[in-house]
Structure 1
Amino acid sequence: MAALVKFTKAGALRVPERLASAFVVKRHQATQPTDINLTNYKRGTGGRSSFSGLVVTVFGCKGTLGYNLANRLGKIGSQVIIPYRGEPSEVRDLKLMGDLGQILFNPIELRDEDSIRKVCQYSSVVINCIGKEYETLNYTYDDVHNKGARLIARIAQESGVQRLIHVSALNAGHRSDGKYRPGGSQWLISKGEGEESVKGEFPNATIIRPAEFIDTNDYFTTYYLGRGRYIRRFRPFRQGTHYPKVIPLHNNGEAIRMPVLVRDVSMGIIAAMRDPSTAGKTYQCVGPHAYKLGDLVKFMVACHGQKFKVESGYGNLINRVAFREKVYHTLKFPYPKCTLDKLERETVSDCLDPSLPTLEDLGVTPENIEDTIYFLLRSYADPSGIFSDHIRARKPPTPDIIFDTLQTQH
């Protein structure tokens, strides 16, 4: 152990960050892997300092859903194996999700079968939360959502994994009209092809189709209020209220959205993991109500407290987004925050298939998202901050509820 410890500048002992990966490697190099079966270990009472008997590999823990899911798995005493790409410092916060020795890390490459097999070989459950919001020079949507998902499913089947849960997306496989990106949204198409690939390699896999996530640092509220989404207009000679920031929406935001809280999706995944009858089924995870996208964006703007104006039609935003994508593919920097594929997805309304089960069938009652959005954005509207003793900013009227999810027709 002395060889593994190094001194910091302050003179304190410090264990290297990648030390936890040694446990997975040691288990992988065992001469008789069948002798190391953690599911036969003595069970505890079900808390973080106990062992529930579940060894779960969670792909995509650096994302919003994977981060929340790792915390809930550690809370019930599961041993969680976290594959990661990049620097170990990006996932070191996940060490606190479980007791000592319950959270293990190992670097992987999505195209490397040996690294994926190493993290799946001794797991009883594999959860795939990997996804990309924009294409990069190294990975396209098809590489991540289709080919990568097929590889994980095949290796999980060969490794004898009992349960595989694949996280897809609502409207997966939908082919839009291609108004803003030729051929439609490749993101949705790749999600649908990924579901078929997973079913072909692992027939008993459980498919989870969540809607837009709502949580801290989510990609919903930060996207519509971020710099990559709004545009500035300078109109010095226009009378009336001046709006320097404009959020353009397709068709005045008539598309339907059913956002859901991340914690509700995490509880649904854990419920599906514990219930053997969910094997081979597809579940839709949406919020309790559906809204027009325009009403929801106006509600977020009111919570944020800044002067944004919502307009119909993308206008010059299309040219700006296309220019940013060309700059990225030419200079390899910076990553585009808004893409043509994302704008194409905004034209597709969320639809529920009445033949498929939802979160209610997993025993999870979705919570209202309006209070959560207000809590996330009120710190921007209140100069005193969210921990002040002053009167908080007044909550704006809630957006119009179009229909309940239970009454949605496909």
Structure 2
Amino acid sequence: MTGATGFVGKAVVTELLRRGYTVFAGSREGKGLPGAAGVKADVTSREGMLAAVGDVQPSAVIHLVGIIAEKGDQTFGKVHVEGTRNVLAALPAGARYVHMSALGADPASKSGYSSTKGQAEQLVRTSGAAYTIFEPSLIFGPGDDFFGRVLKNLVSQAPIVPQIGDGHFPFRPVSIQDVAAAFAGALERPETLGQTYQLTGPVQYSFRELLQLELRALGKRKPVVPVPLPLMNLAVPLMNMLPNPPITKDQYAMLLEGSTADPEPARRAFDLPMLNLEEELPKLLGKSAVDSGKAEKSSA
């Protein structure tokens, strides 16, 4: 598995081990995980990937590596497109291949992230590999970046909560447990060969509703103030001049596109639990359900 030490990788490794698989955890550093031996696997190096896979000779490869922001030579094209090309080149004959993409992946997207994810999907579909592709929406779970950092900072750092435009952009966040169950399940269901599944949760929210959920889960009461899109279009590039911008240009583009799809095909194919964001969010943010309930009542 590439990207095994990341947020999604750790959850998928845990689920595979629970099902009795032998797992080799690939990462640039070669660090292992509890129950999974580490393998040094840098997807941006074709020679490195050939060596890593050659040493293990796996019956399946799960490719999870992705970046949400470019840094130095780690560009979307290098990581998503060339990285996928290198992993496919190293894939043993007859091995199963499971690929992590993203909802909204499209070579024509204005987002560099979504565009390169779409290009990577094209490589997979034309590779001749025995593949299954997954396109998750926003993923929530312990240690996630969006709900645990980006949205948390957005609602916490100022006396008001800035809302992008009218806040109507739709999202269906999916739990990390559902994502891990789907990736592991693909190895056990031959009928999923050659298929692409969109991974979304049971409830659709607008961006404004996500902000309000985050506030309630944190026990905060603040006004949510719309920021006109023309102003956001000017502000986001300026924010990206900061060393650690609160929102990147690609994250902004993806928010405007929304992230939603019908959850039923994947739920039926993999018998997913379909955990609900509203029930899980207080636990993820370190707030008890009791605290969250009190905050909601006081806001009513």
TM-score (norm 2): 0.87
Alignment match, 2:176: 262
Measured against aligned partners, the alpha-carbon deviations of 1:222-250 in whole angstroms (never above 9, x if no partner) come to 244344x4696xxxxxxxxxxx4333232
Find the partner of 1:287 among 201, 221, 238.
Answer: 201
Q: Tell me if structure 1 keeps the 8 A contact 2:239–2:246.
A: no
Identity %: 23
For the aligned residues, what is the CA RMSD? Answer: 2.7
Shift of the 160–251 alpha-carbon distance from structure 1 to 2, 3 Å rule, reads: same
Measured against aligned partners, the alpha-carbon deviations of 1:356-387 in whole angstroms (never above 9, x if no partner) come to 932322222412221101222253xxxxxx59
Aligned positions of 1:197-276 closer than 5 A: 197-227=123-153, 229=154, 244-276=158-190
Alignment match, 2:278: 370
Higher-Rg member (1/2): 1
Query: Following the alignment from structure 1 to structure 2, what is the Cα–Cα distance between the partners of residues 341 and 198?
Result: 23
Find the partner of 2:49 among 108, 116, 119.
Answer: 116
Query: Following the alignment from structure 1 to structure 2, what is the Cα–Cα distance between the partners of residues 222 and 378?
Result: 10
Q: Which amino acid aligns with 2:45?
A: D
Structure 2 gaps of 5+ residues are: none
Query: Following the alignment from structure 1 to structure 2, what is the Cα–Cα distance between the partners of residues 164 and 66?
Result: 15
Matched, 1:338 2:232: no
Q: Tell me if structure 1 keeps the 8 A contact 2:174–2:274.
A: yes
Structure 1 gaps of 5+ residues are: 1-57, 177-183, 233-243, 328-333, 380-385, 399-410
Query: Following the alignment from structure 2 to structure 1, what is the Cα–Cα distance between the partners of residues 261 and 212?
Result: 24
Measured against aligned partners, the alpha-carbon deviations of 1:98-155 in whole angstroms (never above 9, x if no partner) come to 2xxxx22122322322221233231001001111110111111111111211221122
Q: Which amino acid aligns with 1:326?
A: M
Q: Which amino acid aligns with 1:284?
A: Q
Query: RCO (CA 8 Å, sep 6+): is it higher in 1 or 2?
Result: 2
For the residue of structure 1 that corresponds to 2:23, the secondary structure is strand
Q: Which amino acid aligns with 2:285?
A: L
Aligned positions of 1:88-127 closer than 5 A: 91-92=31-32, 94=33, 96=34, 98=35, 103-121=36-54, 122-127=57-62
Matched, 1:142 2:56: no
Query: Following the alignment from structure 1 to structure 2, what is the Cα–Cα distance between the partners of residues 378 and 353?
Result: 30
Alignment match, 1:348: 257
TM-score (norm 1): 0.65
- CA shift at 1:337, angstroms? 4.5
Aligned positions of 1:6-405 closer than 5 A: 58-86=1-29, 91-92=31-32, 94=33, 96=34, 98=35, 103-121=36-54, 122-156=57-91, 159-173=92-106, 175=108, 184-227=110-153, 229=154, 244-313=158-227, 321-327=236-242, 334-352=243-261, 357-379=265-287, 392-394=291-293
What is the count of residue pairs matched by the alignment?
Answer: 294
Q: Which amino acid aligns with 1:151?
A: N
